[in-house]
């Protein structure tokens, strides 16, 4: 590998390739695994000739996996670079207009400040072909336990510290931003039902033991109350 292409910034500098080497007792692991399960279901349904962009892909877990399967997929991330991942900013993507059929934006949007979020969606819209699909996963600040905590304690239950998630929003704000950027929302899938006490005090304390409980509760994870939502969106315009 060309060592000049290797870069690790932000959390990757401190923790290494933590998505690729997943800690079973990371509190987010059950949610991450469920999210990746649904994304794989979608990707596996696609013909291999279409062009896919994984924007904000981190270590490029899906990029490596689907390149090996014969898909045409490109990964880009501001805080990571390797032979699989191009270092670049999703606010100014280094691709021409209508370059991709599908764009993945997985657990990225919340890391952007509010002021930059509309621009990121405009850029993704630009590089997508007409009728192209955006698959976007983003936390819901108004998930069930967050509502419970705010009502009884006056505190929100954020999915990470404010400095890591400066753009975390409730569901309805994310919906508005997606629509304002020229996308039609086809489907919203909720992941992780944060049942008060059970989620934080049981599942998050020992995720490797209680993943089964997480997955059982996930059957009831309405997108209005889920901690994470996957949006399947279509770019408006003539399909190409």
For 191-205, give the secondary structure using H, E and C. EEECCCCHHHHHHCC
Q: Could you tell me if residue 215 is left (phi over 0), alpha (psi between -120 and 50 degrees) or otherwise beta?
A: alpha
Q: Which single residue is written with the structure tokens 């400040």? A: 113
Residue 52's SS3 state is strand
Are 188 and 226 in contact by the 8 Å Cβ rule? The answer is no
pLDDT in tens, 134-159: 999 999 999 999 999 999 999 999 99
User: What would the pLDDT profile of 79-130 be if each residue is shown by its tens digit?
Assistant: 999 999 999 999 999 999 999 999 999 999 999 999 999 999 999 999 999 9
**Is 49's pLDDT higher than 80?**
yes
How much is the mean pLDDT over the chain?
A: 96
- State the pLDDT at residue 240: 66
Question: What per-residue confidence (pLDDT) applies to 126?
Answer: 98
Percent of the chain with pLDDT over 90: 96
- Structure confidence at residue 239 (pLDDT): 72
Task: For each of the domains in the chain, give its residue range(s) and CATH number, in order of start.
Answer: 3-140+162-191+229-235 (3.40.50.150)
pLDDT of residue 236: 85
- Residues 179-209 have pLDDT tens digits of 999 999 999 999 999 999 999 999 999 999 9
Closest CA to 8 of 59, 61, 80: 80
Structure tokens at 126: 């630009």
Sheet holding 183-193, edge to edge: 85-87, 72-77, 51-55, 100-106, 128-139, 226-235, 183-193
The whole-model pTM stands at: 0.95
Q: What local confidence, expressed as pLDDT, does residue 60 receive?
A: 97
**Residue 48 near residue 68 (C-beta atoms within 8 A):** no
Q: Which of 3-7, 171-175, 220-224 has the lowest average pLDDT?
A: 3-7
Q: Are 19 and 75 in contact (CB under 8 A)?
A: no
Please tell me the distance from the alpha carbon of residue 172 to that of residue 75, in angstroms, as a whole number: 28
Q: Residue 3: is its pLDDT beyond 50? A: no
User: What pLDDT score does 5 carry?
Assistant: 77
Q: Is the pLDDT of residue 22 over 70?
A: yes
Distances (CA, A) of 70 to 74, 75, 134: 12, 15, 21
């Amino acid at each position: 590998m060309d060592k000049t292409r290797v870069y690790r910034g932000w959390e990757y500098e401190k923790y290494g390739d933590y998505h690729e080497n997943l800690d079973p007792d990371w509190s987010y692991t059950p949610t991450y695994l469920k999210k990746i399960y649904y994304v794989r279901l979608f990707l596996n349904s696609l013909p291999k000739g279409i062009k896919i962009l994984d924007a904000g892909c981190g270590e490029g877990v899906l990029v490596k996996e689907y390149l090996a399967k014969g898909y045409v997929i490109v990964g880009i991330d501001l805080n990571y670079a390797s032979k699989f991942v191009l270092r670049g900013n999703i606010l100014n993507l280094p691709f021409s207009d209508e370059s991709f059929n599908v764009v993945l934006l997985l657990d990225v949007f919340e890391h952007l400040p509010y002021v930059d979020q509309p621009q990121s969606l405009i850029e993704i819209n630009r590089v997508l072909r007409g009728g192209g699909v955006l698959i976007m996963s983003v936390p819901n600040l108004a998930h069930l336990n967050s509502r419970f905590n705010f009502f009884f304690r006056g505190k929100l239950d954020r999915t990470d510290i404010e400095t890591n998630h400066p753009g975390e929003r409730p569901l309805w704000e994310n919906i508005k931003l997606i629509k304002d950027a020229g996308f039609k929302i086809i489907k919203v899938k909720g992941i992780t039902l944060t049942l008060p006490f059970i989620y934080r005090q049981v599942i998050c304390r020992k995720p490797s033991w209680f993943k089964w409980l997480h997955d059982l509760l996930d059957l009831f994870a309405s997108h209005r109350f889920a901690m994470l939502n996957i949006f399947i969106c279509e770019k408006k315009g003539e399909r190409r």
